Amino acid sequence: MDIRQLRYFVTVAEEANFTRAAARLHLAQPGLSSQVRQLERELGHRLLDRSGRSVTLTEVGEAVLPYARAALAAVEAVRQTADEFTGLLRGRVALGLVSGAAAAGSGFDVAAVLAGFHEEHPRVEIALTEDNSERMLIALHRGELDIAVIGLADEEPPPGVSLQVVADVPLVVAVAPDDPALTSPDRTSIALAELRDRPLISTPRGTGLRGVFDRACAGAGFRPRIAFEGSAPPFLAQLAARGLGVAVVPEFPADAAAALGVRTLEVTEPRLRARAAIAWRSDGPSGPAAAAFLDLLRGSFPPPVRA
């Protein structure tokens, strides 16, 4: 049994698709399929069901998968132990980033952190994916992600997850300068109830910001009328500037709002917060490379001082 075949099997199981798994492994798909079938022949059982639109695990595959992951972890531990004697760090870090978090103006320059880490540890492979917060929390629990930057819908962290809040700002609405909500040039806030019948522009379901807003609207006795959805708050503000609705976004600096062509009003009654956090499993990252990257990420974005 070849350790590479176990890695191929685990990757296909995680991706539920041979094409995506081959791309992740930098292999040709026919070669990947051949290696997995060879493993199945050696074990005398089919591990993967290829009959549907996505690849799923058979009953035997479900039973084998934890042992395959354990074998890969053991091999990685052997390498890491040897590397400790030379000071070399290598391995793989799976990082998830909430969609829109790295957009211009977000203040979260993950590209700079990744570049610095890669320069210091060139033998570490970093896999970066964008998704919504709900799915990334599931991936953390499954061990498919080591670290994730998520939006928070709740005050308390989910079970088994540790957090470091990196952004905590008021939730505001962005409106066009001629919007009816601007009844006074000095107005700076808007009550949540005033949004009841307005067309709204927000992030998709599953994001932390949307979870906070939907919950507040339910508490106020109405369901928000979402006209448009998008991941990047600056883009949502641009839609509002064009008169397509009221954008629900984290607070922008005044100059950024002006550059986007909008005015912002803080949501009140109740006041709401938009929060983002670095998340990882409470039992710690899966290996030294992930632990080193987590330390760097946490040091680069310390907890904010709440205004």
| 200 within domain boundaries | yes
- The pLDDT tens digits for 183-241 are 677 888 999 999 999 999 999 988 888 999 999 999 999 999 999 999 888 899 999 99
Query: What range does the domain containing 21 cover?
Result: 1-85
Domains contained in the chain, number: 2
- The pLDDT tens digits for 191-204 are 999 999 999 999 99
SS3 call for 193:
helix
| 71 within domain boundaries | yes
| 139 within domain boundaries | no
| 60 within domain boundaries | yes
Domain end call among 62, 85, 108: 85
Question: Residue 82: exposed, middle, or buried by beta-carbon count in 10 A (0-12, 13-18, 19+)?
Answer: exposed
User: What is the pLDDT, as a whole number, of residue 105?
Assistant: 45
246: region left, alpha or beta (phi > 0 left; psi from -120 to 50 alpha) = beta
| 301 within domain boundaries | no
CA distance linking residue 10 with residue 7, whole number of Å: 5
CA 251 to chain centre: 20
Q: What percent of the chain is modeled with pLDDT above 70?
A: 93
CATH number of the domain enclosing 202: 3.40.190.10
Domain end call among 85, 105, 123: 85
What is the sign, positive or negative, of the torsion defined by CA atoms of 149, 155, 161, 165? positive
- The pLDDT tens digits for 254-305 are 888 889 899 999 999 999 998 889 999 998 777 788 888 999 999 988 887 6
Confidence of residue 176 (pLDDT cuts 50, 70, 90): very high
Q: How large is the average pLDDT for residues 131-136?
A: 89
| 157 within domain boundaries | no
pTM greater than 0.75: no
Across the strands, what pairs with 247?
174, 201
- The pLDDT tens digits for 16-73 are 999 999 988 888 999 999 999 999 999 999 999 998 888 999 999 999 999 999 998 8
CATH number of the domain enclosing 69: 1.10.10.10
| 175 within domain boundaries | yes
Domain end call among 25, 52, 85: 85
Across the strands, what pairs with 148?
96, 279
Contact 192, 268 (CB under 8 A): yes
| 121 within domain boundaries | no
